[in-house]
Structure 1
Amino acid sequence: MSLTRVHNFAISLDGFGTGEPQSLEEPFGHAGERLHEWMFATRWWNENVGEPGGTTGVDDAIARRHQPGIGAEIMGANKFGPPGWHEDPEWKGWWGENPPFHSPTFVMTHHTREPIEMQGGTTFHFRDASPAEVLEEARAAADGQDVRLGGGATVIRDFLAAGLVDHLHAVVVPILLGRGVRLWDGLEGLESDYEIESVASPSGVTHLTLTRTR
């Protein structure tokens, strides 16, 4: 069976995966881009956005694990768009006409709509269903490859609570946000189900890898 994987998901020292309030102008609220500066500095990121340069150390090597072997994506409503996006029939996500997913992408939302087929192989499907039900559909669409769980924090937390995540890569960024959406709330004892590895980077972030053991 294909795996459910989380990659490059950044959280603050106090566990927040986003700040608040989220809006069209500030998708990560008061966190701004601070959670992702480590990633923007990598050569992997620059290659994907068509820019030269970038770092080639630990951050770059781990960030590159994001794409290989992925056949479908699952994301939450707040990753697809700002609050109220469902009221705009023309909203197609943050990423333009050619989103970076290049696979069937399932958006978990109470406001469903018809699928949106984009350039580059991405088709957005909108589902009001449980994590297990959406994962079953995504696995079928992935055609034997793995399913990436893209966030945000609430969706990842729900999948962790349901025991549906096989691999989790979280990046602890040395900032304190104080408010927003926290990843680990309600997951006491989670570590007993995973083998956990930690790698410190010269950039100041710490890469945590959780691999399911049972």
Structure 2
Amino acid sequence: MGKVRVNFFCVSMDGFGAGPDQSLQQPLGIGGESLHEWAFGTRTFQKMFGKEGGSTGIDDEFLVRSFDNLGAWIMGRNMFGPIRGRWPDEEWQGWWGPNPPYHSPVFVLTNHSRAPLDMEGGTTFHFVTDGIHAALERARAAANGKDIRVLGGASTIRQYLQARLIDEMHLVVVPKLLGQGEPLFTGVDLVKLGYSVTQQVTSETVLHVIVTKN
């Protein structure tokens, strides 16, 4: 059975995984995009969007590792898009254009049902209305023994941590302050839940931390 992983989830120095007031213009909330600036110039990030070149080194190595052995993905409704409540229609198809970078099944946690959404490149979004355990069960079946990556946002990761369902978590601590936004660890006692830091690596821009379940 594959692992359940979190990879390159970025947090500010004051513990926020996204800024406040997510919108169509601000997908990561106000100031949230700044948490990802370290990755924009890497070779892996450039390749994701069909571009050549980019930097190598520690940051790029962690990005490469984040795509290894993946068979399925899980994300929260807010990460899929800014629409709240019932789906007014099926026009919204995510932030990523016709060919999202996942290329395998993605299970979206939501309270409102919607038909599966097939995209180019092998990505299919499945909308799961019966909770995190049901989403994980479906993801395991789809992954066929490979790993499952929990993308976020912060609330989704918290739920899986509190249920001790995350096997390994790669956090990128970014030397920025957001002041407010989506906190990652509110109400989560990682020590009590049996997690510990097993690796830390500093690049020129950020601190990479690996947290694993004991």
Contact 1:13–1:174 (8 Å) recurs in 2: yes
Task: State how 1:1-214 maps to structure 2 within 5 Å.
Answer: 1-84=1-84, 86-190=87-191, 193-196=194-197, 197-203=199-205, 205-213=206-214
Contact 1:22–1:83 (8 Å) recurs in 2: no
- Taking the aligned partners of 1:90 and 1:41, their CA distance within structure 2 comes to 31
- Taking the aligned partners of 1:29 and 1:47, their CA distance within structure 2 comes to 25
- Taking the aligned partners of 1:114 and 1:88, their CA distance within structure 2 comes to 11
Count of matched residue pairs: 212
For residue 30 of structure 1, give the secondary structure of its aligned residue in structure 2: coil
Contact 1:71–1:142 (8 Å) recurs in 2: yes
- Taking the aligned partners of 2:57 and 2:146, their CA distance within structure 1 comes to 27
Instruction: Note the alpha carbon deviations across 1:59-79, whole angstroms, 9 max, x for none.
Output: 011111121111011000011
For residue 30 of structure 2, give the secondary structure of its aligned residue in structure 1: helix
Instruction: Note the alpha carbon deviations across 1:77-106, whole angstroms, 9 max, x for none.
Output: 011001338324211111111111111110
Shift of 1:188: 1.8
TM-score, normalised via structure 1 length: 0.94
Shift of 1:14: 0.7
AA of the residue aligned to 2:111: H
- Taking the aligned partners of 2:82 and 2:34, their CA distance within structure 1 comes to 19
- Taking the aligned partners of 2:140 and 2:123, their CA distance within structure 1 comes to 15
Shift of 1:158: 0.5
- Taking the aligned partners of 1:50 and 1:30, their CA distance within structure 2 comes to 27
Shift of 1:130: 2.2
For residue 65 of structure 1, give the secondary structure of its aligned residue in structure 2: helix
Structure 2: gaps (5+ residues): none
Contact 1:70–1:147 (8 Å) recurs in 2: yes
Shift of 1:192: 6.2
